[in-house]
A and B are shown apart, each in its own frame.
Chain A
Amino acid sequence: MCRYRCYPRANLATHRLLDRWLLIGLAGVGAGCNTLDDLVSVDPPDRITAEVYEVPGNAPALVAGAIGDFECALASFIVGAGLTADELMVTGGNVHRYSYDRRSFAASGLLGAGFAIATCANSPNGVGVYRPLSTARGQADNVRILLEGWTDGQVPNRALLLATMAAYGGYSYLLLGESMCSAAFDLGPELTPAQIFALAEARFTQAITTGQNANNSDIVNMALVGRARTRLSLARKADAATDSRLVPVGYVKNATFSSSTRRRNNFVYSENRTDLVSVESPFWNLTDMGVSDPRVKATDTGRRGTQGNVPIWYQEKFTSLSTAIPLARGAEAQLILAEAEVAAGNLTAAVAIINTLHARSGVGLPPFAGGTATEVLSHIIYERSAELWLEGQRLMDIKRYNLPLVPPSGTPYPLGGVYGNETCYPLPDVERNNNPNTSD
């Protein structure tokens, strides 16, 4: 068995003299060992050295681990971005989430820059965005590069695994682009959201190409939705529509969760059910054209947060620690398409898409009559807020459509201070201080 301090014998040369000196001493006490290394070698604990783990035989485990990292990061992202947007609010007590809710961030410090410091499974001490997404991105890219260096003979289904890593990597880039004011990758320079989206698009494109080679529609559709969402953020609605049209309406790609460990929990559910965050008022008793919208289920518990001034509402969309969260689905693609249709002047097509979604089983909302382009777009925005509620889309929608902030900037924050107007997270000091390619 390889022990922890197993390293090439040749490396001992520089210290051979001391080694020998020590051994002479040790011989005097009857240690009876062959080398000093033997004496100080210990078994590694639950850690696994990279050189042992990063081998072709572990490719499936590497991929599963990278996806696990992303899923954990996604759930944290949804909570953090949901607090910054108007989907969620802090109930009180735990100050680590205030900055998200108050829309006021700092480049360092756990309370102001929790987005950069907290990890994905750090509840109740924080909610991470930049760190967990960067980790997920790094994992996906690292595994993708490893796979590219291996052969099909070494790794069964290598193309599929490659496509998978490219797709998940693309989503990590995408979410960073939607939430960060700027970001860096692999100690590279500080990039704008547009530059980040470009990287995401490239990953999705690779995923689509490789996935098609592997003949795997699941990954291809996931990447198509991701690329459409990316292109929408880049204001390339026509390109987004092209991708969206290729995705079946019923397609769903979920992020999976379980109750096995905190890391695997549906973080949205656990944050809400442990009373740390509550559904924010815009999503209480939501109606669409006078009818209660079944896609946004929230109930008033009748209780208030620890300071007695924030009502606790529970979301009912995710009903357990193991409830999956949709990452990419056909309905989202349809709404992207609808928006593109409005931009192209095809209002009828856009309204038809909305009504198709309304008519789905389990939704059953009355048809939308349509109207002016502004009215249709406005309704699409509503549709997105309801259809994609608590799926990590609302923050980008607020920015993309320049929606009013709720509550407005300057409003007293019920837990102290006032609401700010920041809707992206600054490049944190932890990156700026330790990345030589970012400016001070």
Chain B
Amino acid sequence: MVGVKQSMHLAAAILVVCGLKVRGAEAQAGQSLAMSANQRGSAASARARLEVRDLTVAAALVRLHESSGVPISFSPTMFPAAHRVSCRCQAVTVAQALDSVLKGLPFTHWVQGGQIVVVPLPRLRSDRQEPPEMQLVGLRRLEATGEIIAQMLKTRQPATLQSITQGGVVAGTVIDARSVPVEGARVSIPGRTGDALTNAAGRFRLENLTGATVEIRVVAIRYRPATAVARVGDLNLQITLSEAPVNLEDVIVTGTAGETRLRALGNAVGKIEASTVREVAPVSDVGQLLNARVPGVVLNSQSGAAGTGSRILIRGPASMTFDGYPLIYVDGVRIKGDPVSGPAVGGAGAPNAISRLNDLNPADIESIEVIKGPSAATLYGTEASNGVIQIITKRGRSGKARYDVRVRQGANWFMNAESRLQTTYWKNPATGVVDSLNILRLERERGNPSPFRTGHLQGYGLDLSGGAETFRYFAGVNFDRDEGMLPMNSSHRQSGRVNLTMTPSQRLEVNAGVATTVGRTTTYAAAYPSVVYLAAPNTLNAPSRGFQGTPPEVQAATRNLYQDLSRSTANVTVTHRPTSWFSQRIAAGLDLTNTEDVILIPRVPAEFESFFSPTGRLGSKDVARINTRYTTADYTGTLRLSLTKTLGSNTSVGGQYYSRLDETQGAVGEQFAALGVQTVTGATIRTGTENFVDNVTVGFYVQQQFDWRNRIFLTGALRGDANSAFGSEFKAVKYPKLSASWVISEEPFWKLGFVNQLKLRAAYGQSGQQPASFAAVRTYTPVPGTNDVAAATRQSPGNPNLGPERGKEIELGFDASLFDDRAGINVTFYNRRTTNAIVLREVAPSTGFDGSQFVNAGELRNKGLEMLVTARPIQTQSLAWDVSLNLSTNDNKVVRLGIPGATFLPVGFIPNRLQEGYPVGSYWSKRVVSADLDATSGRAINLMCDSGTGAAPLPCATAPPVFLGQPFAKVDGAIATTLALGRSLRLYGLVDFKRGVKHLNTNPLILCAFFLLAEINYYPERFPATQVAECQQGLAALGTSFIADAGYVKVRELSVTYDAPDRWARQLGASRASVTVGARNLHTWTKFGGLDPESHSVSGWLTAPHTEAVLPLPAAVITTISLSF
């Protein structure tokens, strides 16, 4: 009996031919192939008997060959390693047995020269009578492969390509359209033996060639096959592969229900090939990796400070109360991905926006998948209505050890700060003279250093990967040290990751990974930029030199804010396939995040004492340690059955346990006893706090999928969750899901030749958003009572009926590749309703409760269109041009508040509302539509304001606040393009944009309405009277003067990448060397009058994005050197 061992031998034999070495296996390959190679004729109709259970496809094919005597050529590496087959095929033909073995896989088989070859079918239409080009390539190659195998087995000698080839040589490089090397591409010559796989640098070499020229064929996963005519002896041939715009065989990690091929998915899933992006784009954190690459995934930058991150919003705001952050998974384990943390001083605009997502090293990431809404995220349950981001880290590949070295050097700065800063004004009452001040210019003229600096960016990384089939490894370390534009602002991060893949048997695969990150982000007090932005001409001769209250060097010397990070993540996934029809997987993991936020205000040195109050001079220290622990346990079992010849069934059941524990300890010391004392212990007044919040979710689901002819897929699922935050009267929640996909282009009736592939899809699903922990119960919280005795005060009235919000989403769309795969388009329409929306209903103070109450009351809606278009208009040997456009729209609206008597709820602290019929968090204020200017007093008079009803304007005193815009963009998108010139040079650019978004432009508001330091205060005649009126009304009528259009078009990324010639790389001992010079944020087109339409404060989820004290996104130039060994 030939068993698994022999199948391995065959695999080994073919791998040898393919250029890979599996030591010790070559000489022992069975002879049955050699014998059967002589049997030619009616191979497909030969009788066969195949009884196998839970074997790999390769092993089953060996069995089939043995039982039938028919030679079968194939490459075992083509098949999914995890795929197992079973067959009780008695009295069948070889063709029928092959159909059974290959069922559900994108492969077909052909008879050629008396043998059967098995070839991939990624782009084959089933009704085609002639094999496509790719199949011919494989056919010829594999025919030749069979001959080599026969020769090899006859001689029983270890075979290598070199041992059986001599003569002329062709060598070269396989790259993609952006000139990025393609690793693992198969290079062959039709009609002749011997092929090769490309290495990390995309290099290949074919020998023993005859004649003057040869035709070279290249096949690689995700790419269209390519052909090139090469001169024998050409050692620098370059072959460019075009990426297939739609890959229905791509495997999507849907997390809960196991891997799924794209063709079976009824939802849109955004996917970012991180390694590909990083080849050209100057990205140094995960946020930059995500930005502007997946339609519907919107990143809202907050600050230009080093170490800060962005908020991620998928398909618009899904909640009226809770933040809209998606769940984050790394290798199947839920991790902390909160975008806002860090020490903050200064209230509005405080730079507390350190993103936990950026603790991950982007160089460790293989790919990112974005599951956008409830229709796709149902199985993730009660916390997934904001979407899910799955991050898949790199795994080792079998083969010799490979080293990758990266060095990043760069700089970032506040571009054109002097001209972007608002000039301030003041009228000296003694002289009547109006002084104007550009504080940066004045400081430069005074010879003083700028408050802003050019920050040095640097990073160093080393990866190691390799292994054998049974044990593979990836290890990476990274060190980053970035300085921000402020002298105290920097971010240091060191990280390491080890991923192991073990395959002790064909039935068992274990993936395990550990990662750790430590670092420190030093941030700044909000006052530092504010003293510059709000410069005061009236204090030019004061110690503050014209800065607002305090010169920046005093701020720098007396404020020390930083966050220390220590983070470890571990994950293990065991995949077990005990039978051919059943597999199961269990994943477990931990994510431990320990941060320490420190706000140290040292005792003020004598020379700066005059700037501080007697109490303020004494200093203070606030230390907050937050330990967060995420625990994941996830089980999935999948049952696969063939119900009929054309109807398959796939049943999954699973359960998850997630817990999150936040422990916080705080210590505050005030009034240091002496200079130099900087510990809480050394403070005169010391207080401590402790708190913890624990939350547990337990869920269970069942999913059933039917497929018909591998073209139509129907999926239904139901999930149930219980959560510790639900009220006592609310026990559990159930979420249903239904989806369908139809690869219509594979139907026999499909006639549209220019459409290569078309998949239609539709999905409906629900998921939830859990309430805040402990929102359900009436609570007290400990506080010191009178005379400091232990006591408590009433905290929350609670709501025992509280349950999760429920997101219900339907999405419709299609994925198509067009014009011989030169263009691809993905279009999705979504409509999501959040019902039982949790509203943070303010509690009437008269109840005696000091706070708010969560109630399931409201409803909101998000709908929009997402589109991704990719095209390759030009592709020649010397020039390739790729362009892509992603676009998403979002139309969100509060449908119903559900609070009797209330048509709106105020959110935030100035003008934002949740108002029925309007976007979430919309801006409301009075808008002056006409006014006159009293030339004598300089005051606006006869103010008339928008009535809000379309009727005639009303006197502003009685006019209502009117809708002035929304804080979330209506349209978001990006255009990216890559131009590859020749072999070595790639030019890349990405421009992204937002439309239909408003921000509160705070600094001009403060200057004109509160500090009276704006030009409009002293030269009102230079401005429209309505603007003068809104300035003088201040917060009472923000109008369009301060609620400003924050749409923009930004040149986000530009780069030039140069791949060094091989000989240069070899001189370094490397297989590949490349240099990328990139830039970020070089130019912005916008109507926004503030420093940057993107950066804004983070004081609340729905709070008006406003600009006080925030830093603009810096311009940056970054050079990256990459070497592979």
Question: When chains A and B are docked, how far (Å) is the Cα of A64 from the Cα of B795?
Answer: 16
A134 touches B845 (CB 8 A): yes
B847 touches A186 (CB 8 A): yes
- Known A49-B779, A109-B1035, A416-B1012; judge A61-B793 contact (CB<8 A): no
- Known A39-B698, A116-B845; judge A260-B687 contact (CB<8 A): yes
Q: Nearest chain-A residue to B905 (Cβ)? A: A433
Q: Nearest chain-B residue to A104 (Cβ)? A: B1036
A255-283 vs B, Cβ < 8 Å mask (1 yes, 0 no): 01011110110000010011100000000
A45 touches B691 (CB 8 A): yes
- Known A25-B655, A184-B846; judge A36-B784 contact (CB<8 A): no
Which of B726, B728, B734, B1035 is most buried by chain A, counting CB atoms within 10 A of its CB?
B1035
- Known A14-B731, A44-B774, A307-B536; judge A25-B700 contact (CB<8 A): yes
Tell me which of A18, A37, A45, A435 contacts B694 (CB under 8 A).
A45
Say if the beta carbon of B720 comes within 8 Å of chain A: yes
Interface-lining segment among A124-132, A217-225, A385-393: A124-132
Task: Give every chain A residue within 8 A of B1012 (Cβ-Cβ).
Answer: 416
A222 to chain B, nearest CB (A): 13
Question: When chains A and B are docked, how far (Å) is the Cα of A4 from the Cα of B791?
Answer: 21
B673 to chain A, nearest CB (A): 14
Say if the beta carbon of B1076 comes within 8 Å of chain A: no
Say if the beta carbon of A29 comes within 8 Å of chain B: yes
A50 touches B698 (CB 8 A): no
Question: When chains A and B are docked, how far (Å) is the Cα of A263 from the Cα of B687?
Answer: 12
Say if the beta carbon of A246 comes within 8 Å of chain B: no
B792 touches A18 (CB 8 A): no
B800 to chain A, nearest CB (A): 8
Say if the beta carbon of A103 comes within 8 Å of chain B: no
Q: Which of B1043-1083 contact A (CB under 8 A)?
A: none
Say if the beta carbon of B4 comes within 8 Å of chain A: no
Task: Give every chain A residue within 8 A of B917 (Cβ-Cβ).
Answer: none
B734 touches A18 (CB 8 A): yes
Say if the beta carbon of B842 comes within 8 Å of chain A: yes
Q: Which of B840-892 contact A (CB under 8 A)?
A: 841-850
Question: When chains A and B are docked, how far (Å) is the Cα of A312 from the Cα of B347?
Answer: 22
B724 touches A49 (CB 8 A): no
A68 touches B793 (CB 8 A): yes
Count of A-B residue pairs with CB < 8 Å = 278
- Known A22-B700, A307-B1011, A430-B842; judge A5-B635 contact (CB<8 A): no
Task: Give every chain A residue within 8 A of B793 (Cβ-Cβ).
Answer: 65, 68-69, 135, 139
Say if the beta carbon of A43 comes within 8 Å of chain B: yes
B775-790 vs A, Cβ < 8 Å mask (1 yes, 0 no): 0011111111111111
Task: Give every chain B residue within 8 A of A434 (Cβ-Cβ).
Answer: 841-844, 899, 902
B258 to chain A, nearest CB (A): 15
Say if the beta carbon of B695 comes within 8 Å of chain A: yes
Say if the beta carbon of B674 comes within 8 Å of chain A: no
Task: Give every chain A residue within 8 A of B722 (Cβ-Cβ).
Answer: 22, 36-37, 39-40
Say if the beta carbon of B978 comes within 8 Å of chain A: no
Q: Which of B656-697 contact A (CB under 8 A)?
A: 657, 670, 685, 687, 690-697
Q: Nearest chain-B residue to A12 (Cβ)? A: B731
Say if the beta carbon of B616 comes within 8 Å of chain A: yes
Tell me which of B536, B790, B902 contacts A308 (CB under 8 A).
B536
Question: When chains A and B are docked, how far (Å) is the Cα of A18 from the Cα of B699?
Answer: 11
B923 to chain A, nearest CB (A): 13
A135 touches B794 (CB 8 A): yes
A15 to chain B, nearest CB (A): 4
Question: When chains A and B are docked, how far (Å) is the Cα of A434 from the Cα of B696?
Answer: 32
A93 touches B549 (CB 8 A): yes
Task: Give every chain A residue within 8 A of B245 (Cβ-Cβ).
Answer: none
B685 touches A259 (CB 8 A): yes
Say if the beta carbon of A178 comes within 8 Å of chain B: no
A28 touches B653 (CB 8 A): yes
Task: Give every chain A residue within 8 A of B655 (Cβ-Cβ).
Answer: 25-26, 28-29, 31
Task: Give every chain A residue within 8 A of B794 (Cβ-Cβ).
Answer: 50, 135, 138-139, 142
Question: When chains A and B are docked, how far (Å) is the Cα of A113 from the Cα of B30?
Answer: 87
Q: Which of A65-115 contact B (CB under 8 A)?
A: 65-69, 71, 93, 95, 98, 108-112
User: Which interface class (under 10, 10 to 19, 20 to 34, 35 or more) fits A?
Assistant: 35 or more
Task: Give every chain B residue within 8 A of A259 (Cβ-Cβ).
Answer: 670, 685
Question: When chains A and B are docked, how far (Å) is the Cα of A135 from the Cα of B796?
Answer: 11
Task: Give every chain A residue within 8 A of B1035 (Cβ-Cβ).
Answer: 109, 111-112
Q: Nearest chain-B residue to A309 (Cβ)? A: B538
Question: When chains A and B are docked, how far (Å) is the Cα of A30 from the Cα of B696?
Answer: 17
Question: When chains A and B are docked, how far (Å) is the Cα of A26 from the Cα of B899?
Answer: 38
Tell me which of B693, B848, B906 contacts A141 (CB under 8 A).
B848
- Known A187-B847, A306-B549; judge A61-B731 contact (CB<8 A): no
Q: Nearest chain-A residue to B786 (Cβ)? A: A67
Say if the beta carbon of A62 comes within 8 Å of chain B: yes
A192 to chain B, nearest CB (A): 15
Say if the beta carbon of A401 comes within 8 Å of chain B: no
Q: Which of B906-940 contact A (CB under 8 A)?
A: 906, 909-911
Interface-lining segment among B35-43, B294-302, B556-564, B607-615: B607-615
Q: Which of A384-440 contact B (CB under 8 A)?
A: 415-417, 428-431, 433-436, 440
A7 touches B728 (CB 8 A): yes
Say if the beta carbon of A231 comes within 8 Å of chain B: no
Question: When chains A and B are docked, how far (Å) is the Cα of A141 from the Cα of B781?
Answer: 18
A134 touches B785 (CB 8 A): no
Task: Give every chain B residue within 8 A of A433 (Cβ-Cβ).
Answer: 842, 899, 901-902, 905
A417 touches B784 (CB 8 A): no
Task: Give every chain A residue within 8 A of B899 (Cβ-Cβ).
Answer: 433-434
Question: When chains A and B are docked, how far (Å) is the Cα of A307 from the Cα of B782?
Answer: 39
B850 touches A135 (CB 8 A): yes
Q: Nearest chain-A residue to B661 (Cβ)? A: A42
B906 touches A429 (CB 8 A): yes
B782 touches A46 (CB 8 A): yes
Say if the beta carbon of B542 comes within 8 Å of chain A: yes
- Known A62-B791, A434-B843; judge A68-B783 contact (CB<8 A): yes
Task: Give every chain B residue within 8 A of A29 (Cβ-Cβ).
Answer: 586, 633, 635, 654-655, 657
Task: Give every chain A residue within 8 A of B1034 (Cβ-Cβ).
Answer: 416-417
Say if the beta carbon of B732 comes within 8 Å of chain A: yes
B657 touches A48 (CB 8 A): no
Task: Give every chain B residue within 8 A of A353 (Cβ-Cβ).
Answer: none
A49 touches B777 (CB 8 A): yes
Task: Give every chain A residue within 8 A of B792 (Cβ-Cβ).
Answer: 48, 53, 61-62, 65
Tell me which of A15, A22, A47, A435 contacts B795 (CB under 8 A).
A47
A424 to chain B, nearest CB (A): 16
Question: When chains A and B are docked, how far (Å) is the Cα of A19 from the Cα of B1035?
Answer: 53
Say if the beta carbon of A371 comes within 8 Å of chain B: no
Say if the beta carbon of A248 comes within 8 Å of chain B: no
Say if the beta carbon of A303 comes within 8 Å of chain B: yes
B654 to chain A, nearest CB (A): 8
Say if the beta carbon of B171 comes within 8 Å of chain A: no
- List of 9 A-B pairs having minimum Cβ-Cβ separation, nearest first: A138-B848, A25-B700, A64-B785, A65-B791, A68-B785, A42-B694, A7-B728, A15-B731, A134-B845
Residues of A within 8 A of B (CB): 4-5, 7, 11-12, 14-15, 18-19, 21-22, 24-26, 28-29, 31, 36-37, 39-51, 53, 60-69, 71, 93, 95, 98, 108-112, 116, 119, 124-125, 130-132, 134-135, 137-139, 141-142, 183-188, 256, 258-261, 263-264, 270, 273-275, 303, 306-309, 312, 321, 415-417, 428-431, 433-436, 440
Can you identify 30 A-B contacts, CB atoms within 8 angstroms?
A5-B726, A5-B728, A11-B731, A21-B700, A22-B722, A28-B637, A29-B635, A31-B698, A39-B698, A39-B722, A40-B726, A41-B724, A44-B779, A45-B774, A61-B789, A64-B790, A68-B786, A71-B786, A95-B1006, A108-B906, A109-B910, A109-B911, A134-B847, A260-B685, A263-B784, A307-B538, A321-B685, A415-B1010, A417-B1032, A433-B842
Interface contacts beyond A64-B785, A428-B845: sample of 13 additional A-B pairs, CB < 8 Å, sorted by A: A19-B732, A26-B698, A45-B694, A46-B690, A47-B774, A47-B781, A61-B785, A62-B792, A98-B1010, A124-B347, A130-B845, A259-B670, A309-B538
